[in-house]
Each structure stands twice: as structure tokens, then as C-alpha cells.
A and B are shown apart, each in its own frame.
Chain A
């Protein structure tokens, strides 16, 4: 495909795994994305950063085909996601793992069965083999000993690791992580960061991480995209992002409250709002 002129990151000469092009998406009449462009190269850890409400979760839903863009193109592993039939979409999703912001473990199954769930749903493997695979995945995230616990009995960090084990149960091509670092103590954080990196490099997966934690993002990313105002406002390696002079990027990377990036959700004039009593 003739994609020369495009910002092919760092001269890697392979086909991108994910391309998002000119995507527009709005919800309840409010534009969340317009002209969104980004590329995820295979085998790399791509981090998408943005403030709360910037549309990070929405972006993952678009890539996973749970939402359909109003315009533009989303390609994953060569397939045009919005145009897929439900059946084709499900076939593609078997090759995608996703870690939800809330873990999304099935509460009526224990840890073991949660990890076994995708295998039982999608394969006809004998029980012995499923057992071995589940234990392997749980060993990877350090929770082999917790396999008989139920999700309600897990801490937030443990639940996230179980969800990770489940996300990689079928050895997917890529894993999407929605805020994998929030609400973790420093040790669990370190464990998760290392785990994501190891999975990416050892198992040859591609990782897309969505987060607002600048430090972790920089420590793990190969590529960083910064979302702001419904589009990519900056893009580069962690080093490039940190020494950029662009004010909006600097503001985000340094966590400054004042700057070009608005902290407020769009609203009418503050004074006018205060004076118009009686209308919420």
C-alpha cells in the first residue's frame, strides 16, 4: 500500500497493525473525535494519553468494533473494522485481548474459570490442556495460588492481573489496556508495567495502552500519542515528547494546571451561570 508520506514511526518498514484515519465520532450530538489519525506498529508498545474524558476508552471501543465511527477508516490486521459483519468482527476479536478499566471479570466464576472462559467458549481443548494453559497464564501474572478465589475476594490490583491473564488466554495478536495503572500501589504498578513489557516482547504481542499516567507511559512506551480536543495533538517517542517545546504537550507531560489545555468541560460563562438562579 502506498502509505509513504505518512508519519511512519521511526522508519520501521512493516505494515501497521492498526490504522485509524480521519475518524470522526460523536455522541449525543457532541463531537468526541474529528480527523483522528493514528498508527500502531506491530510488536511495539503504543501509549495513547489524554485527560479524563478525552475519549481514550471510546478510542479502544472504536478499534474493538463496539462503536462505529461516523466517518473515516479503522483497520486492524488488514480488516476494515466498521464494515465487518458481526461474525467477521467476532473472528477478529478472538485475536484481540482487552483489559477493561474495571477488569470486567465474571463475578459468578472463580479466577480459574474466568481465565478458562475464553478457551472453553472458543476451543474444544481437552480439560487437561485447559488446566495447563490456565495455570501457565496465572503463573505469568503471579496468581496461580489464587485460582479458587472469586472476583469479589480480589483486590483491585489482583483483579486486574487476572483480567490480564484472561485477555491473553488465547494468545492474541494484540492487547488493549484501558488505564492499567490507575489505583495500583507502587509495587503492583511496577509488576504490571514489567508484565506488559514482557508479554509484548516475549510473546510478540502488540500493546496499546490508554492512560493518563505520564511517568508510567514514558517508562513503557515505544510510541506515544497525545489526544486533545478530539484529535492527536502530538506524537513521538517518549524522549521526543519530553523535550518538545509545544506548549500543550509540555503542559500535559509536566502536569501543569494552567496552559492551553482546558481543564473545564465546555460551559457557559461562569458569572452568568452563577447569576441565573433557579436553573440547574
Chain B
């Protein structure tokens, strides 16, 4: 084959992938537009949402606790290492709390959630599609969007901010333990500096807004990919991978945008 044909083929393949990506974005938009009217109705069957929330909780709780604790402890060690050079180690509590509430809590929780619960969500819905369970519901006059997708979407959306709060809290406790037990800092100073320096309106609410947005986006991507999956085992496994990749990228991209707006607003 001549080299030009090779380049042409590569460009063509690139174009096709780009087109496929744009088409997927379009389908995802249409999907959410169809889902939104079902979202209110899903609360008539709140039991289903609670059930899903419980399932996601079981899936992600431990991983959030453990990661939160470690991230907090690492932050304490690293933060101390830098602060001590300027004799500012009394600000360690503040540093850790700001880093966790503004950034690490929401972002890491979202990434972990996407990998653990988001992928499971896609696989579950995709498998239900592949085994004709969704079609079966349709034929039983049950709307799968209302019965299957909406409760899972809500559960994911609600779970992410809750888990981010837990992550942040556990992280701060982990940092406190390291600061007091390992680094020999004064516990009272750790807390009082944090209390004085963390603003509820900017930092806490800002972090919360981020995790609400992340929860929405991850749940959207996860249920969409499951619903849109090719109804084969290969199709479902690809969709699962796509959920993790796209939602992680979306979380990081959105974090950058939101951070830029929030810092300018300060």
C-alpha cells in the first residue's frame, strides 16, 4: 500500500471517530431530555430510590472511607513538610481542610464513584438491555426509564455529594490523627485554625456545588452508556469502560471550569 493511502486511511478513521463521538453526545442529550420528565415521577416510588441509594452506598462506602483517611494522612505529612520551612505548621489544619473541601473531597470521590458505582450502573442497565429485560418491561407497559433508569440516576446523583462529605470528614480526621500522633502538633491549634480559616459560603458550599454537579454528570453518563450499549456482552463491556473514561474526564474538565469561576468570584 502506498503511504498516502495509509495517511488517508488514518485521517478517515480519525474523522469517523470524531463523528461517532459527536453522535454519541447528541444521543446523550436526547436521552437526558427524555429522562427529565420521568425524574419527578420517580419520587412517587421513593422506595426504589432508597433501595438504589443503599446499593450504591454498600458498593462505595468502604472505598470512600479508606481512601479519605489515607488522603488526609498523606496531606498532613506533605503539608507539614512544606509549612514547617516557613514555621507555619500551625496552619496545617487549615491547609488540609481547604484542600479537601474545595478540591480533593469532591474530585476524588467523584473519580472513585465513577470507577466503582458508575461502571456497575452501566453494566447493570446494559445487561438488562442485552437480556431483553428492558424490552420485556416495555411490553408489560412499564416504562423502563421511570422504573429502572430514573431511580438509579437519582441515587447516583444524591450519593456523590453525601460520599464527598464523608470523604472530606474522614480525611480531616486522618490528617488530625497524623498531625497530633505522628508530627506532634497541638490538636487545639489544628482545629481552631481550621475553624477560623474555612468559610462556609465559599469553601463548603463551593465544594458541595462541585460534587452535586459531578454526581449529576457521572449518573447521566453511567445510565446513558448502559441504555445506549450494544446489547451484547462485548457492547456492555465497552460501555462500562466508556463510562469510567468519559466521566473521569468530564469530572476533571468541569472541575477546572468551576474552580476558575469560583476563584474569580471570591
Among B131, B139, B147, point to the contact of A66 (Cβ < 8 A).
B139
Please report the total number of A residues contacting B with Cβ < 8 Å: 21
Among A66, A94, A103, A117, point to the contact of B138 (Cβ < 8 A).
A66
Among A66, A94, A117, A121, point to the contact of B135 (Cβ < 8 A).
A66
Q: Which residue of B lies closest to A98 (CB)?
A: B139
A-B contact pairs, 27 of them (CB 8 A): A64-B139, A66-B135, A66-B139, A93-B138, A93-B139, A93-B140, A94-B141, A96-B139, A98-B136, A100-B135, A100-B136, A100-B139, A101-B132, A102-B131, A103-B132, A104-B132, A105-B133, A105-B136, A106-B133, A106-B136, A106-B137, A107-B128, A118-B142, A121-B140, A121-B141, A121-B147, A122-B141
Min C-beta distance of B47 to chain A, whole Å? 11
Q: Helix, strand, loop or mixed for chain B's interface? A: helix
Instruction: Judge if B186 is at the interface, Cβ distance under 8 Å.
Output: no
B131 touches A104 (CB 8 A): yes
List of A residues within 8 angstroms of B140 by Cβ: 93-94, 98, 117-118, 121, 166
How far, in angstroms, from A198 to B143 measured CA to CA in the complex? 31
List of B residues within 8 angstroms of A90 by Cβ: 141, 143
How far, in angstroms, from A104 to B142 measured CA to CA in the complex? 14
Identify the B interface with A (CB < 8 A).
127-128, 131-133, 135-143, 147
Can you add 10 more A-B contacts, CB < 8 Å, to A100-B139, A104-B135, A121-B140?
A90-B141, A98-B136, A100-B135, A104-B136, A106-B136, A107-B128, A117-B140, A118-B140, A118-B142, A121-B142
List of A residues within 8 angstroms of B143 by Cβ: 90
Identify the A interface with B (CB < 8 A).
64, 66, 90-91, 93-94, 96, 98, 100-107, 117-118, 121-122, 166
List of A residues within 8 angstroms of B136 by Cβ: 98, 100, 104-106
How far, in angstroms, from A94 to B140 measured CA to CA in the complex? 6
List of B residues within 8 angstroms of A106 by Cβ: 128, 133, 136-137
How far, in angstroms, from A64 to B139 measured CA to CA in the complex? 7
A102 touches B141 (CB 8 A): no
B133 touches A104 (CB 8 A): yes
Among B133, B137, B138, B147, point to the contact of A107 (Cβ < 8 A).
B133
How far, in angstroms, from A100 to B131 measured CA to CA in the complex? 10
List of B residues within 8 angstroms of A121 by Cβ: 140-142, 147
Min C-beta distance of A102 to chain B, whole Å? 5
Shortest 7 CB-CB contacts between residues of A and residues of B: A104-B136, A104-B132, A93-B141, A90-B141, A98-B139, A94-B141, A121-B142
How far, in angstroms, from A221 to B148 measured CA to CA in the complex? 37
Q: Which residue of B lies closest to A96 (CB)?
A: B139
Min C-beta distance of B100 to chain A, whole Å? 36
List of B residues within 8 angstroms of A98 by Cβ: 136, 139-140
How far, in angstroms, from A234 to B131 measured CA to CA in the complex? 33
